[in-house]
Amino acid sequence: MSYATYTGNFTILAQAPGRVIMGSVSTSIAPTQQPVEKMKPLPRWAPTIRVQRILALLLLIFQGGITVTGSIVRVTGSGLGCDTWPLCHEGSLVPVAGAAPWIHQAVEFGNRLLTFVLVAAALAVFLAVVAAKRRREIKVHAFIQGIGIIIQAVIGGISVLVDLHWYAVALHFLPSMLLVWLAAILYTRIGEPDDGQPVMKFPSWIRNVAVVAALALTVVLVTGTMTTGAGPHSGDASISMDDRLDVDIDLMAHIHGYSMYVYLFFTLIVVAGVFLMKAPRNIQRLSIMLVLFILIQGGIGILQYRMGVPRWTVPVHIAMSSVVVAFTSLFWAQGRVREDGEAVVTGSPEGDAKRAVIATASGTPGDGRAS
């Protein structure tokens, strides 16, 4: 592989016959092996921040979306439409006519197939941040997404193998919420230049209260899974009450609701602090949106309880859970950001230099920002 001569801003840190090590003074680099090595991995791709963020946003949406399709599996009683794992039925990777009602097989198998869409999205994000030579923090977050999806698939398989026992289903849902949280963090961090300086946007007391709010949100999610575990939607008509959580569902529903009020209370304190400290406008807007989504979610929960938990309310409630978790995470991530970096194309100085080399080699004017 060879590239045309590239002229850019580099510092000559060391120089020997036939070799130049680059940094921040202007120099010309002949097409030697050194720039070729700098191009690896994925030598012909250095995606912009915009492309990376689009991929990360899709991953965030898919992470939340698969929790919704999982809830559809539950309310349609399709949880054992495929009665084993990793196969759908014994000896068959795909649904088998007559093994279970076709609609249950279609819903459950379709939900399993969506895992591959999620894997593809996570892989795309990981390859993009590696190709752009982003900082270690971002690469680790992207890697965790891929590993988390695999672990989630295994947990989902275990829940089928234990006939959808309530605790297994709860353990399947809660890691999904964690992955939504981390995907929102990843989306935020990708937008920050790697060479930027860390800046605290909140005073420490606001971040401390935000931690308490996040812990309250955790309680909301845990009690929510317990309410579901004691509720009418078991995931399959064959599930006996022995596999359900044996608690007073009215009591559990009220505990779940009260924990939501606690979460809202601490969130309102954080939001008030944000406005009192005159935080940037984007953070103020984000905080208002978070409170709005919490109120909507609370209203859905109350409606659910008053109506006796009709099937259609469950996917809506789960979808709003993902939205609340995502916006809580986005808000939290704004407390400490990187600013004033110069790597504004790919997000990293090495990625920007790589993109410039690619643009020069292909004859594209400038640094190829538009592509």
The residue range of the domain holding 68 is 49-339
Within 13 Å, how many C-alpha atoms sit on residue 330's CB side?
Answer: 22
Q: Answer yes or no: do 22 and 105 share one domain.
A: no
Q: Answer yes or no: do 34 and 124 share one domain.
A: no
Query: Which of 171, 163, 309, 174 minimizes the C-alpha distance to 249?
Result: 309
Least confident of 26-30, 79-83, 155-159, 187-191: 26-30
Query: Which of 300, 292, 223, 303 minimizes the C-alpha distance to 259?
Result: 223
Q: What gap in Å lies between CA 294 and CA 195, rounded to an integer?
A: 35
Q: Answer yes or no: do 204 and 299 share one domain.
A: yes
Is 275 domain-assigned? yes
328, two tokens: 């809580």
Q: Answer yes or no: do 239 and 334 share one domain.
A: yes
Please say whether the beta carbons of 166 and 174 come within 8 A. Answer: no
Report CA-CA distances (Å) from 84 to 69, 99, 138, 158. 19, 12, 36, 9
Q: How many residues does the chain have?
A: 371
Is 351 domain-assigned? no
Report CA-CA distances (Å) from 9 to 6, 26, 350, 353. 10, 4, 11, 9
Q: Is the peptide bond before 198 cis (omega within 30 degrees of 0)?
A: no
**DSSP secondary structure, 117-139, as one string:** HHHHHHHHHHHHHHHTT--HHHH
Q: Answer yes or no: do 184 and 317 share one domain.
A: yes
Domain count, the chain: 2
Question: Does residue 265 have a pLDDT over 90?
Answer: yes
Interacting residues of 161 by C-beta distance below 8 A, sequence separation 6+: 84, 85
State what percent of residues in the chain have pLDDT above 70: 83
Q: Answer yes or no: do 171 and 252 share one domain.
A: yes
Q: Answer yes or no: do 8 and 137 share one domain.
A: no
Question: Does residue 214 have a pLDDT over 60?
Answer: yes
State what percent of residues in the chain have pLDDT above 90: 53
Q: Answer yes or no: do 143 and 235 share one domain.
A: yes
Q: What gap in Å lies between CA 197 and CA 192, rounded to an integer?
A: 10
Question: Does residue 117 have a pLDDT over 90?
Answer: yes
Q: Answer yes or no: do 15 and 136 share one domain.
A: no
State the residue for tokens 């931690």: 211
Query: Mean pLDDT in the chain?
Result: 84
325, two tokens: 């978790």
Is 147 domain-assigned? yes
Q: Answer yes or no: do 199 and 94 share one domain.
A: yes
Least confident of 223-227, 281-285, 317-321, 367-371: 367-371
Question: Does residue 155 have a pLDDT over 50?
Answer: yes
State the residue for tokens 């089928």: 160
Is 367 domain-assigned? no
Q: Answer yes or no: do 9 and 131 share one domain.
A: no
> What pLDDT does residue 27 have?
36
Least confident of 176-190, 232-246, 258-272, 352-366: 232-246
> What pLDDT does residue 369 have?
59
Residue range 129-139, pLDDT digits in tens: 999 999 999 99
> What pLDDT does residue 14 have?
40
Give Dmax over CA atoms of the chain in angstroms: 80
Residue 244, strand partner residues? none
Please say whether the beta carbons of 108 and 164 come within 8 A. Answer: no
Is the model more confident about 33 or about 270? 270
Question: Does residue 323 have a pLDDT over 70?
Answer: yes
Residue range 21-67, pLDDT digits in tens: 344 433 333 444 445 456 677 778 889 999 999 999 999 999 999 99
279, two tokens: 């935080």
Q: Answer yes or no: do 210 and 296 share one domain.
A: yes
